[in-house]
A and B are shown apart, each in its own frame.
Chain A
Amino acid sequence: MVISSALIIWKGLIYITGSESPVVVVLSGSMEPGFKRGDILFLNMNKDPIRAGQIVVFNDGRDVPIVHRVIEVHEQRDSKEADILTKGDANPHDDRMLYTSSNRWLQRKYIMGRAVGFLPYVGWLTIIMTDKPII
């Protein structure tokens, strides 16, 4: 019953939020004390422009997506394409060193969603299942 209701909620969330992965688990401590390892974040992805201060989940071709805050936006006048820089709240430096293939900025296409809400501790179930595969 737990698994089937979780599945129903998951599929429902995909439909409502319009994002392929509407829920992510926080895996690192780089956003502490706001988000700790094991929290889950609800994501939303709409056509609104990315602005500084939003917490975004991005994946520029790495194994796991990263959840960090946008600290710089340079949006071009004509194309509306934007160069974006992110940083984890608890990290002393911005993410430039982390971006793959020597990009100095992120583009919108790498961003999977914006975090709009969160639940603490619930994600530990996923972390435990991936670390110690029983199922």
Chain B
Amino acid sequence: MHSFGYRLNGLLTFAVTILALMCVIASLSDNLNIPSPSAEIQIMNINWFQKQPKGSDEVILTMNISADLQSLFTWNTKQVFIFVAAEYETRKNSLNQVSLWDAIIPAKERAKFWIRSSNKYRFVDHGKNLRGKEFNLTLHWHVMPKTGKMFADKIVMSGYSLPEEYI
């Protein structure tokens, strides 16, 4: 009843339970934070807009992305993963989301930034539907905590469109 093994077992269970409770409380403290992020994206140039040899449309564009995401960080935040996705609809698909660019923000100081970049990932349609297409650019963020629940949200910026003809 009071053997070493039994005591060790009891101690370990207690320790793990307390640790788990601390992680849950740390995660709950994230709910107290009310974020107020802001972002703006401008398309500087459409560099390339062609049909691939196999058939689908492809776009290469340069964007100016500026954002202030400092209010997303809490003491329990390990990093914030952000990405910009183009969202549009076509005749066949009610929703298309294509991720164009992403970044990892490791600390609060780096969360207010301005960057000019062309799309990191290929913007290829599921067909040839992109001529004259209107689309939204959405900045998504995913707050990854040191422990606990992850939060994700986004800002939708609309009003962008592609040229009527291939460049």
Contacts and interface: CB of A to CB of B under 8 A. Distances in A.
A33 B16 CA distance: 25
A34 B102 CA distance: 14
B149 A117 contact: yes
Contacts of A73: 95-97
Contact of B83 (A35, A71, A116, A119): A71
A118 B150 contact: yes
Interface in A43-65: 51-55
Contacts of A72: 96-99
Contacts of B81: 34, 69, 89
B27 interface: yes
A92 B81 CA distance: 15
Contacts of A54: 152
A120 B9 contact: no
Interface residues of A, number: 29
A27 interface: no
Contact of B147 (A71, A89, A119): A119
B138 to A, nearest CB: 8
Interface string B60-79: 00000000000000000011
B104 A76 contact: no
A58 to B, nearest CB: 17
A9 to B, nearest CB: 9
A12 B154 CA distance: 32
B166 to A, nearest CB: 21
A11 interface: no
B47 interface: no
B98 A118 contact: no
Contacts of B20: 119
Contact of A53 (B91, B98, B152): B152
Contact of B104 (A5, A33, A74, A80): A33
B94 A75 contact: yes
A95 interface: no
B121 interface: yes
A2 B6 CA distance: 11
A86 B98 CA distance: 11
Interface of B: 9-10, 12-13, 16-17, 20, 23, 27, 78-79, 81, 83, 85, 89, 91-99, 102, 104, 106, 121, 126, 140, 142, 144-150, 152, 154
5 contacts: A52-B98, A52-B140, A74-B97, A76-B94, A89-B104
8 A-B pairs with least C-beta separation: A71-B99, A52-B97, A77-B94, A53-B140, A117-B149, A1-B13, A73-B97, A75-B95
